Amino acid sequence: MKKQTFDSKPAGPKPWYDPRVRAIFFQVVAIALVFWGGWVLIDNTLSNMESRGISTGFGFLDESAGFGIIMSLVPYDATMSYGRTFWVGLTNTLLVSAMGVVTATILGFIIGVARLSSNWLVAKVSLAYIEVIRNIPLLLQIFFWYFAVLSSLPSPRQSVDVGGAFFLNNRGLYVPEPVTQDGFGLVWGGVFAAIAAVIGIRIWAKRRQLATGAIFPTFKVGVGVLVLVPVMSYLLAGQPLEWDLPALKGFNFGGGISIIPELAALWIALSLYTASFIAEIVRSGILSVSKGQTEASKALGLPNGLTLRLVVIPQAMRVIIPPLTSQYLNLVKNSSLATAIGYPDLVAVFMGTTLNQTGQAVEVVAITMAVYLTISLLISLFMNIYNRAVAIKER
């Protein structure tokens, strides 16, 4: 070894005292451990499956399933493949999740605002709702709605009958199904024309406000156009719509659209449960906007409604969005509790029945997990894009 010479660089520490060298060393060790662990896991699984004679691969997806599913959005019968059961499960999961997200959001925002109401009764009722609902396990609530509420409804023969069109019984809720006749295209045309007109009015009103300062009642006129134009085109086209009414046939109802109690129970429970969390998020978002902001807005002469719309809500949204995203993710993942009451979601149909019949545990579990991961990442992505749009610039 050469003796250290004096040059312009300060003498470095010995490599094992240099934090950078240490960091690289530990990272290499960590990566090596992860790969080794993964390899052991895969090798072990493969050799075990081989010794028990389990075939691997995704060939099972083309085999005939041979079991029925009580509800499917895509055409399905028992002769179809396991691949088809996957789609049935996936669409059912997406259906209940989408319905839940919409209702939980609406309900959550209403309750969150009500919680801040100056009306004592409204505020306390919201508080009671939040504290009761969010502190009872979701599974219990799903059972409550399914077994205690919906199962105790009358049998189909004693259905609750609303005007001979809506029927409620322990097999579900039956509503009339609209069947379009010839000439309904005109009504669709009317709907699209109305939407286009409203967008046009909005743009025109905005331009006019920028140019002259006059504020046009866009909302009221918009609602009027959206209702009147389709109704008029419907009448003009000779009312080309008929209703397929549900009717009792034998022991059950036929015709119309039915909402099965499994879906209803899961939807109600998921919505109410998630709404209680969203309400707290909304409340904290609104409270996070300092009182000075409201005061400054009022001092400038802005009335309460405009203060809320132009000053408070835009600032509250940036606080609300990130935790709201995780509530949406929770709702989607919680929808897998469907299994408990037999709603045919992805977990019940695919990871339940399909897995039991095929025994392809590794493949089925991997597919199911990948699906939930994909849905969650997509929701996060869209919410992040939205969040970036409403974020506040500083420095």
Partner 1 sequence: MGKPMTEQTQTPETQSSPSSDVGKSDIIRVEGMHKWYGDFHVLQDLNLTVRHGERIVICGPSGSGKSTFIRCINRLEEHQQGKIIVDDVELTDDVRQIDSVRREVGMVFQHFNLFPHLTVLENCCLSPIWVRKTPRKEAEATAMEYLERVKIPDQANKFPGQLSGGQQQRVAIARALCMKPKIMLFDEPTSALDPEMIKEVLDVMIELAGSGMTMLCVTHEMGFAKTVADRVIFMDGGEIVEEAPPHDFFTNPQEPRTQKFLKQILQH
Binding positions for partner 1, rule: CB under 8 A: 209-215, 290, 292-293, 295-303, 306, 310-311, 314-315, 318, 392-395
Closer by beta carbon to partner 1, 294 or else 380: 294
- Contacting residues for 278 by C-beta, under 8 A, at least 6 apart: 104, 105, 107, 108, 109, 112, 324, 327
Closer by beta carbon to partner 1, 75 or else 303: 303
Closer by beta carbon to partner 1, 229 or else 316: 316
Shortest approach of partner 1 to residue 281 CB, angstroms?
A: 19
CA distance 377 to 380: 5
Shortest approach of partner 1 to residue 202 CB, angstroms?
A: 16
Closer by beta carbon to partner 1, 134 or else 318: 318
Start-end of H helices in 300-360: 304-306, 313-334, 346, 355-358
Closer by beta carbon to partner 1, 225 or else 289: 289
Cα angle value 178/92/100 (rounded, 5°): 85
Shortest approach of partner 1 to residue 142 CB, angstroms?
A: 40
CA distance 40 to 34: 10
CA distance 85 to 66: 10
Shortest approach of partner 1 to residue 291 CB, angstroms?
A: 9
Shortest approach of partner 1 to residue 304 CB, angstroms?
A: 8
Start-end of H helices in 52-136: 82-115, 120-134
Q: What is the DSSP letter of 76?
A: -
Shortest approach of partner 1 to residue 317 CB, angstroms?
A: 9
CA distance 331 to 325: 10
Q: What is the DSSP letter of 145?
A: I
> In this structure, are residues 325 and 383 in contact, taking their beta carbons and an 8 Å threshold?
yes
> In this structure, are residues 130 and 294 in contact, taking their beta carbons and an 8 Å threshold?
no
Closer by beta carbon to partner 1, 218 or else 330: 218
Region of residue 289 (phi > 0: left; psi between -120 and 50: alpha; otherwise: beta)? beta
Shortest approach of partner 1 to residue 332 CB, angstroms?
A: 30
Closer by beta carbon to partner 1, 48 or else 288: 288
